Structure 1
């Protein structure tokens, strides 16, 4: 059954190509990869042949191609005229290999790179491990590939052993150390103006505080003024008339005589 499907696919590929198949190409972003660390490339294919319900599709690899006739349609073979980063064919592999299926294919469910649309476009992502990788040659021997010394890039060929001249492409990828972002400039402190300059540490010291006020004295009790001595009765008293003056003088004399007698005085 598999051989029959392959034969049908080959017949379909021999048919006249639709207008969308005139010149397949792959756009790669970014165009450069990191030489030491893995880089995820975003790929967008256009102009590919899309055969509805046909067996197979497009394999997408990263690797090296020989100068000249590297393509399978020209007699090239994996490990000899082109070498790529090997990966599992499982759908959840490490991302080094992608399978883009034809629409309606019986292997479409295994595709991990999408489907070739009717207009010949597709898109997927591919992981590049770095500028150096190990793979196997045609005899199964492990070989080292250094992409800083040989030409490497994105390779597309017919999937599942089906040769498809139209869908064979190679897009070079260069390697460069990513530019480091410039460090952020430290914040600049504004220079204070003369009107807002901060005080210096040699400022004139403030005068000492005044001494505390003396304690309040206890209130002094008021001293009663001595009563004035009795005024002798002969002190004249102002009166309205001369008779009043005489009466006052007589009364004073009489009062003085009585007081003297009480004190034991004599009239001598």
Structure 2
């Protein structure tokens, strides 16, 4: 009876010393696809991982390629090696690296100070963020050789393995990631608001008054000495009234007599001048 009790106690003690974990470790990724041209930040959540309290190390979280994504031959626990059966985006093993590599420490680990991916809870869960530079990256192997991985031609994803040289098959996982242009939410339709449209004020602009350029023109006027006058109609002789007396005939006769006398005087002078001219001619001929 005592032997049975001691045996049961030994079994219970062994169970208490075994690290707590759930079978089937998995990693959920958001978003499920990465951008084929630009860097992408993934939000990771792990569950079912083995958590070793005060244990050395923890788990490394990488983005990279594995030689046997559908099987398990790539795993370190099965003889796989970095640079041979799996390759990943390299980063500094410091807390302030570029986010391409994360270290999730065991609770109470002596390496917890350098953890940049949080702490693995006792219930086997953890969460962190991981940066992906793009679908292509260069990886180095143990011998220092560098090779390029094209995730558009090979299957790549999130890799978890034991950290700080501790191999742990329970914490080795591979979660495939595909590359595609992220879905963009359609722009919301414009909101139609009832607005009162006020017609624009019509501004009438009067054209400026035309500019008149005065040109001085010197006009030389030619004065005409002859004036054109409208000819007056000739005076018609009026018949003498019947009752004109002798005074009227006297008035008419006197001017006539004067004209006759003046005409006779002029004729006599012309004759006298002609006679003198003849006499002078005869004298000069003798």
By the TM > 0.5 criterion, same fold? yes
In the TM superposition, structure 1's runs of 4+ consecutive aligned residues that sit over 2 Å from their partners are 15-18, 179-192, 196-199
Q: How does 1:111-190 map to 2 (within 5 A)?
A: 111-183=115-187, 185=189
> What do residues 89-126 of structure 1 show as CA deviations (whole Å, max 9, x unaligned)?
01000000000111111101111111111101111110
Deviation at 1:142, TM superposition (A): 1.5
Relative to structure 1, is the Cα distance of residues 187 and 46 closer, same or farther in structure 2, using a 3 angstrom cutoff? Answer: closer
Deviation at 1:179, TM superposition (A): 3.0
DSSP 3-state at the match of 2:134: coil
Query: Are residues 1:104 and 2:108 paired?
Result: yes
Task: Name structure 1 gaps, 5 residues minimum.
Answer: 1-11, 202-268
| Structure 1 partner of 2:32 | 31
> What do residues 64-92 of structure 1 show as CA deviations (whole Å, max 9, x unaligned)?
00114100001000000000000000100
Query: CA RMSD of the aligned region, Å?
Result: 2.5
| Structure 2 partner of 1:256 | none
Q: How does 1:1-268 map to 2 (within 5 A)?
A: 16=18, 18=20, 20-67=21-68, 68=71, 69-183=73-187, 185=189
Deviation at 1:139, TM superposition (A): 2.8
Deviation at 1:143, TM superposition (A): 1.1
DSSP 3-state at the match of 2:113: helix
Task: Name structure 2 gaps, 5 residues minimum.
Answer: 1-13, 203-286
Q: Which has the higher helix share?
A: 2
| Length, aligned pairs only | 183
Contact 2:66–2:87 (Cα < 8 Å) also in 1: yes
Distance in 1 separating the partners of 2:195 and 2:42: 49
Relative to structure 1, is the Cα distance of residues 187 and 170 closer, same or farther in structure 2, using a 3 angstrom cutoff? Answer: same
Contact 2:67–2:85 (Cα < 8 Å) also in 1: yes
DSSP 3-state at the match of 1:166: helix
Distance in 2 separating the partners of 1:61 and 1:92: 16
